[in-house]
Amino acid sequence: MTLSLPSPGRPMHIGTRGSPLALAQAHETRDRLARAFGLDQACFAIVVIKVTGDQVQDRALRDIGGKGLFTREIEEALLAGQIDIAVHSMKDMPVDQPSGLVIDCHLEREDVRDAFVSPIASRLADLPRGAVVGTSSLRRRAQLALRRPDLQIVEFRGNVQTRMRKLNEGVAAATFLAMAGLNRLGVADVPRTPIDPDDMLPAVAQGCIGVERREDDGRAAAMLAAIHHAPTGRRLAAERGFLAQLDGSCTTPIAGLAELQGSSLRLRGEILKPDGSISIADELSGPASEGDRIGRTLADRLLTRAGPGFFSWR
């Protein structure tokens, strides 16, 4: 069967959030599809969809509904046929997807590391005692409290430009951003120091772009298969299996990173109390083809060590 490719008159509609980073990720997806099939950019239409997570900036995500706030409206548009595919930051994606939708396309992973960003210090250790650090991530809050319990941690949401403005206004002395986002935006004027995962394990799926489609859309399936990066997919299978077994959400400080070593996969995972008082970490290796099993097994190992009351705050 001949694949019916999009055209300028009947473009493929790509749904995305409207932030600069989300648009950069949608453009990367469009450009990869255009190259893979020899198409002009006019064969694709970027559709910006307003999501609750972007519209509510004065409260923590965990207080208004969690990760789904960045995806719900986009997925509703996808199910309604208003868009053909949707581009997401995978670290924002809940582990459970709506019936009828699937993510089986991942672009090649970017830098997984967190970036320490501050106009007054180049490292976390250099911040003065009692300094104010801004972050909206429960994981980063817990990891910071574990490493520097003397710091004051405040809620800090918004895009890169908003966060840099807050730093310059003195709202906080430092914050954290994902290196992947800074790289994709091509931002050169943000003072940043990458943090080695050995020192601060990143969020599950950090640096990964996932492309969602309707399960019954054969054309989208065939086109996305051409740009899927299989090694990234294998790493994500382990990390998201780990997250799913832990019932991870925006109310749970969880970190995880899978790395490929030939045909083997190494997964490191960490769960923390929100106040940083306890951190439980471990790792597990196995065949790269068994990522989901490795992730779930590691999660069970951590849960056993943590005991039944570890997640009692949820």
- DSSP for residue 313: T
Distance CA 271, CA 252 (A): 8
> For residue 248, how many C-alpha atoms fall within 13 Å in the half-sphere facing its CB?
30
pLDDT of residue 267: 98
**8 A C-beta contact, residue 257 and residue 178:** no
How confident is the model over 270-302, as pLDDT tens digits? 999 999 999 999 999 999 999 999 999 999 999
How confident is the model over 26-54, as pLDDT tens digits? 999 999 999 999 999 999 999 999 987 55
Work out the pLDDT band at 209, boundaries 50, 70, 90. Answer: very high
**8 A C-beta contact, residue 29 and residue 189:** no
In single-letter form, the type of residue at position 52 comes to: T
In sequence order, what are the residues at sequence separation of 6 or more whose Cβ sits closer than 8 angstroms to the Cβ of residue 71? 51, 86, 88, 92, 93, 94
Q: What burial letters (b/e) apply to 51-62, b meaning 16+ CB within 10 Å?
A: bebbeeeeebbb
Distance CA 176, CA 183 (A): 14
* Residue 299: other Cβ atoms inside 10 A: 25
pLDDT of residue 312: 64
Could you check whether 12-109+208-228 and 239-305 share the same CATH topology?
no
In this model, does residue 268 exceed pLDDT 60?
Answer: yes
CA 65 vs CA 19, 50, 62: distances in Å:
20, 16, 6
12-109+208-228 is a CATH 3.40.190.10 domain: yes
> Is 275 an active-site residue?
no
Residue 307 exposed, middle or buried by CB count within 10 Å (0-12, 13-18, 19+): exposed
Q: Where are the domains of the chain?
A: 12-109+208-228, 114-195, 239-305
CATH number attached to the domain at 239-305: 3.30.160.40
Active-site residue, selected from the candidate residues 84, 92, 114, 217: 92
- pTM equals 0.91
114-195 is a CATH 3.40.190.10 domain: yes
